[in-house]
Structure 1
Amino acid sequence: MGSNNKISNIFQKNKRAFIGGLIVTLFLTLAVVVIGQISGYEAKKLIASSLPGLNMLCNTIVLASATILALLLTLLGISSGTKNKLKKAHYKQVLNIATIDTILFVCALVLFQLFNIPITETDNVPTTWYDVIYWSTLIVSSMLSGALITVILMLYNTVSNIINIVGLGKDHHLISKEELEEEEEEEQTTEKE
């Protein structure tokens, strides 16, 4: 029960990012289905021709995910170095990005390994399996792309919050209220002196 509540909470706080990722996933899946239906090739030939692109996509996602994890460490350094005390919600947001990004990293790496199995070179696989393999790989790659878009949109939200807080000095909902009250008291004390 607590796990479902946590997932629901993550979704609610990052609704726009998840919707953006879902739109990309649906768009890519639709494009793949339309192009796959138009081509008229058999699934075995389509798998053979699409594998280099799928491998490149997985490589790109693995590299992007690893880079995002490194950038999150930099973001945490900036967050902890700010003069304003940030609420735990900011750090939970960063943790959510790191969690989804790590899952994305692992999935892309596993799929990269699976795509390197020379499935089209064997004659022992029934021809009906090629259709399932072809559509599965394309739908899963669409989902990976959508998940990467979700992570990037979540990261954008977090970075824009930090820019507003640290760079522009704006009052923000992620700044701890106690910290703001202390700053106001210090300003009043300075003005009296």
Structure 2
Amino acid sequence: MIEFLKQNKKAIYGGLITFIIIGIGVFLLGNISGYEAKQLLNSSLMGINMLCNTIILASATILALLLTLLGISSGTKSKLKDSHYLEVMSIAKIDTSLFIVTLVLFQLFNIPITESDNVPTIWFKVIYWATLIMSSMLSGLMVVVILMLYNTVSNIILIVGLKKDHPLLSEDQEKAKENQKELEENSNA
């Protein structure tokens, strides 16, 4: 887990910054009453549902694109280290978790709670703050996934597209490149 945090430090910072910025916006609303929370919740549910729809669609698309990334990774002449595939698996795990949690929250947000007269008004305050915090967390987690994916795609571009030496290349691949360079130098001499 510590290794995962070290490798994905920038992505996690990006997600935390997103969460904090949205959290500050939520905090600036200040203390509201249960009735105000009911009114605000009623007006914000459409936007939260749209956010959930977007995250669900993006997560499913990212999972499909990871399959393409794996096809490119395995089809390359360069032999990649296991850490590359573990990174892709980490993205897939986080993205799948994000997909499932967002789908469940989407279903919960579609319960017509603001139409109910049996719910005490004080609950609306708790529900309102919970939805704002959850949507902030979902947004932050989506940023983490996108930044992790960006890092992985950048590495593949460097290795496959630009044929650069990279720490993700296996030692066998690096030795073969060194031997090839030596052979070229010896043949030119």
Query: One fold, TM greater than 0.5?
Result: yes
Q: Please point out which of 6, 14, 18 is paired with 1:24.
A: 18
User: What pairs up with 1:75-114 in 2 under 5 angstroms?
Assistant: 75-114=69-108
Shift of 1:8: 2.0
Q: Please point out which of 113, 117, 129 is paired with 1:123.
A: 117
1:37 — aligned with what? 30
Query: What's the TM-score once normalised by structure 1's chain length?
Result: 0.91
Q: For residues 17-54 of structure 1, what are the alpha-carbon distances to aligned partners after superposition, in whole Å with 9 as ceiling and x for unaligned?
A: 001000000110111221x3398871000110000000
Structure 1 residue runs of 5 or longer lacking an equivalent are 1-6
In the alignment, the residues of structure 2 paired with residue 75 and residue 130 of structure 1 have an alpha-carbon distance, to the nearest angstrom, of 44
Shift of 1:126: 1.0
Q: Please point out which of 42, 46, 53 is paired with 1:59.
A: 53
In the alignment, the residues of structure 2 paired with residue 144 and residue 15 of structure 1 have an alpha-carbon distance, to the nearest angstrom, of 18
Query: What's the TM-score once normalised by structure 2's chain length?
Result: 0.93
Shift of 1:72: 0.5
**Is residue 49 of structure 1 aligned with residue 43 of structure 2?**
yes
Q: For residues 140-179 of structure 1, what are the alpha-carbon distances to aligned partners after superposition, in whole Å with 9 as ceiling and x for unaligned?
A: 0000000000000000000000011111111000001111
* Cα gap change, 1:38 to 1:136, in 2 (>3 Å): closer
Asked if structure 1 preserves the Cα contact closer than 8 Å seen for 2:23 and 2:133, the reply is: yes
Structure 1 stretches of 4+ with a deviation exceeding 6 A read 38-41
Structure 2 residue runs of 5 or longer lacking an equivalent are none
* Cα gap change, 1:164 to 1:15, in 2 (>3 Å): same
In the alignment, the residues of structure 1 paired with residue 18 and residue 105 of structure 2 have an alpha-carbon distance, to the nearest angstrom, of 19
Shift of 1:183: 3.2
1:174 — aligned with what? 168
Shift of 1:187: 4.9
In the alignment, the residues of structure 1 paired with residue 30 and residue 181 of structure 2 have an alpha-carbon distance, to the nearest angstrom, of 68
Q: Please point out which of 128, 153, 161 is paired with 2:155.
A: 161
Identity percentage of aligned residues: 61
Q: Please point out which of 137, 147, 151 is paired with 1:143.
A: 137
In the alignment, the residues of structure 2 paired with residue 13 and residue 184 of structure 1 have an alpha-carbon distance, to the nearest angstrom, of 27
1:13 — aligned with what? 7
